[in-house]
Structure 1
Amino acid sequence: MRFVQDIPHPQFRIGLYAWNGKYIVKIEAGPYEQTYKVSEMDLSTPEDITTMLDNEFLNQVRQRFQDMDADWQATGERNDIFQ
């Protein structure tokens, strides 16, 4: 996997990678990560990825991270791991 660039964001760490004919977008927040893959053939340039990371999309990413955290906390509590 080849690193292409970091995409600045105040809340998330966003990295763009290229691998096997695909762009891979990794979005990290704390211990959680979301990964999106898109074929290089579907885009004109790698900059199209930045355009796709609009406010509406990133708000959904933020919500998904919150849901992931809630799920993780719930399973920890349900199984007496987290107090």
Structure 2
Amino acid sequence: MRFVQDIPHPHFRIGLYAWNSKYIVKIEAGPYEQTYKISEMDITEPDEVPAMLDDLFLERVANRFRDMDQDWQETGERNGVM
């Protein structure tokens, strides 16, 4: 996997990578990660990717991270780990 660029954001670490004819967007928050794959055939330049990360999309990403954290906490509690 080849690193292309960091995409600045105040709350998430966002990295853009290229691999196997796809662009891969990795969004990290604490111990959680979301990955999105985009075919290189769908985007002509990697500079187009940051424009796709609009406010609505990133708000949904944040909600998904909250859900992931809640799921993780709940399974830990159910199984006596946390």
After TM superposition, is the score higher than 0.5? yes
Distance in structure 1 (CA, Å) of the matches to 2:46 and 2:55: 18
Distance in structure 2 (CA, Å) of the matches to 1:23 and 1:16: 7
| Gap regions ≥5 residues in structure 1 | none
Cross-structure match for 1:8:
8
Task: Calculate the TM-score normalised by the size of structure 2.
Answer: 0.98
| Gap regions ≥5 residues in structure 2 | none
Cross-structure match for 1:26:
26
Task: Calculate the TM-score normalised by the size of structure 1.
Answer: 0.97
Q: How many pairs are equivalent?
A: 82
Aligned-residue identity in percent: 72
Which aligned runs of 4 or more in structure 1 are off by greater than 4 angstroms?
A: none
